[in-house]
A = this chain, B = another copy of it.
Amino acid sequence: MKSQKDAYQLILNAIDTGIYKPGDRLVESELADRFKVSRTPIREALQRLETQTLLARDGRSLIVASLDHNQLAELYEVRAALEGLAAQLAAQHATPEEVRVLYDMIATDRTFTDDPARLSQANRRFHNQIHLASRNRYLINQLEMVHRSMALLTSSALAVDGRSEQTLDEHQAIVEAIERRDSEAANKALKTHLSYAFETRLKIDAGEV
């Protein structure tokens, strides 16, 4: 049975896989048709997506949100603050087991630095693990939203030459700070990491245009 949660996921996937691109108008009846459900669950899913700012209003209708240069910069500022806080809290709360898991992740990730898609997923899991270690559910939620916005609306920045190795080195520095329980250093290390990531993205965007 299709349900409201399904409709939400289905639309999310459709946006994710590029069936609907930023700026595209989403027509309820069209979505209902595509996913073989009535307009009701579609409408509710769309509203959810709208409140999460993944969709935007254009007059009366909804379009897939897009991030212009300024918005991307703004998003990165907020993300840096939240991720920095997560690292800081992780340094305070992470158990030895969690630290080991983080180290293991980095070690594993080093074995496929030439597979950007897989690395991107691994990157996501790494950051997620830090979020969880923060022991702050509200923060975890906020970061999930931030990541969703970024994941859907931008392509991966890990395909640049040498960026993979650099990324993992930065990850290493973050985990070391967490292991030392040095929350200040962890905060800073994560912010630095994101700063480089943002820089890389900007370079990609500049080149692609």
- Which residues of A pack against B, CB within 8 Å? 43-44, 47-48, 51-53, 71, 74-75, 77-78, 81-82, 84-85, 89, 136-139, 141-142
Contacts and interface: CB of A to CB of B under 8 A. Distances in A.
B138 A78 contact: yes
Given A43-B44, A53-B141, A136 B81 contact: no
Contacts of A81: 81-82, 84-85
B44 A78 contact: no
Given A48-B48, A74-B138, 13 more contacts: A44-B44, A47-B47, A47-B48, A47-B51, A74-B137, A75-B138, A77-B89, A77-B138, A78-B82, A78-B142, A81-B82, A81-B85, A142-B142
Chain A residues touching B, majority SS? helix
Contacts of A136: 74, 77-78
Contacts of A84: 81
A48 to B, nearest CB: 5
B71 A78 contact: no
A3 to B, nearest CB: 12
25 contacts: A43-B44, A44-B44, A47-B47, A47-B48, A47-B51, A48-B48, A48-B51, A53-B138, A53-B141, A71-B137, A71-B138, A74-B137, A74-B138, A75-B138, A77-B89, A77-B136, A77-B138, A78-B136, A78-B138, A78-B142, A81-B81, A81-B82, A81-B84, A81-B85, A142-B142
